[in-house]
């Protein structure tokens, strides 16, 4: 039987299958293609064992599912990315038959940001849950941790909070842009674009907030024990 004579395999439908609507050997008409991808994806989720990495087939179906969802809505954190780019760059965290949670790091500015998403299979929707920078300035860290900026600087000097100079992150960003083929990247620090981030200023990895808050509690406990 020639491909163009195949019929849709969705239950109750006998329309001709579309030329490109194939999901792992099953043919679908254009109306049932998305549902076909969805049911194959759910089947893969059911077979996924706890702690197991999603298979290539899972990731392929995830990409095709995204493709369908992105036609109706694109959260800002996924703008300018193709479904293939999203699939290859995303880190999948929680996978269930109702939801897939994933995150993706973006490099629009020299401080990369990680966007968190929830894909609801039940609602057929992708929502942006949050967005966090990979690094915080001293002022941002102080605000989030409830410390004064002076105390944060002191902790950095004592080595109790990890920090690096902004210039290291800026340079890394610049060279990765050039290495990535963006020949039109101008040298931003020479143009004064980064005045709000002095090159000698500190940047603190985002994860330090959680680490420090745990450390802080340990110190409090120590003091009580004494």
Binding site for Zn ion (CB under 5 A): 8, 10, 13, 15, 29, 32
What angle is formed at CA 90 by the lines to CA 45 and CA 124, rounded to 5 degrees? 50
Q: How far is the CB of 32 from Zn ion (least distance, A)?
A: 3
Looking at the Cβ atoms of 8 and 161, the one nearer to Zn ion is 8
The single residue listed with the structure tokens 């990895």 is 205
CB 133 within 8 A of CB 141: no
Looking at the Cβ atoms of 3 and 139, the one nearer to Zn ion is 3
Q: How far is the CB of 41 from Zn ion (least distance, A)?
A: 18
Q: How far is the CB of 124 from Zn ion (least distance, A)?
A: 17
CB 148 within 8 A of CB 142: yes
Looking at the Cβ atoms of 15 and 127, the one nearer to Zn ion is 15
Q: How far is the CB of 48 from Zn ion (least distance, A)?
A: 27
CB environment 59-97: b (16+ within 10 A), e (fewer)? bbbbbbbbbebbeeeebebbeebebeebbeebebeebee
Looking at the Cβ atoms of 17 and 155, the one nearer to Zn ion is 17
Q: How far is the CB of 30 from Zn ion (least distance, A)?
A: 8
Looking at the Cβ atoms of 7 and 151, the one nearer to Zn ion is 7
DSSP-assigned letter for residue 105: E
Quick one: the chain helix, strand, coil %, rounded to 5? 40, 20, 40
Q: Which two tokens stand for residue 136?
A: 């915080």
CB 112 within 8 A of CB 134: yes
Looking at the Cβ atoms of 29 and 169, the one nearer to Zn ion is 29
Q: How far is the CB of 5 from Zn ion (least distance, A)?
A: 15
């Amino acid at each position: 039987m020639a491909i163009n004579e195949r019929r849709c395999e969705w239950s109750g439908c006998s329309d001709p299958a579309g030329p490109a609507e194939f999901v792992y050997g099953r043919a679908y008409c254009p109306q049932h293609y998305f549902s076909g991808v969805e049911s194959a994806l759910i089947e893969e989720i059911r077979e996924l064992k706890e702690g197991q990495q999603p298979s290539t087939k899972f990731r392929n179906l995830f990409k095709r599912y995204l493709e369908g969802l992105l036609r109706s809505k694109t959260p800002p954190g996924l703008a300018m990315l193709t479904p293939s780019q999203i699939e290859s760059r995303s880190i999948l965290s929680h996978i269930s038959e109702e939801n897939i949670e994933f995150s993706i790091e973006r490099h629009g500015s020299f401080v990369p940001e990680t966007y968190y998403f929830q894909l609801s299979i039940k609602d057929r929707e992708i929502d942006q849950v949050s967005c966090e920078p990979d690094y915080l300035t001293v002022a941002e860290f102080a605000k989030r941790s409830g410390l004064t900026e002076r105390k944060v600087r002191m902790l950095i000097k004592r080595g109790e909070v990890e920090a690096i100079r902004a210039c290291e992150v800026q340079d890394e960003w610049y060279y990765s842009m050039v290495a990535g083929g963006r020949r039109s990247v101008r040298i931003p620090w020479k143009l004064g674009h980064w005045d709000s981030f002095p090159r000698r200023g500190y940047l603190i990895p985002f994860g330090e907030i959680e680490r420090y808050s745990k450390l802080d509690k340990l110190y409090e406990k120590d003091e009580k024990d004494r």
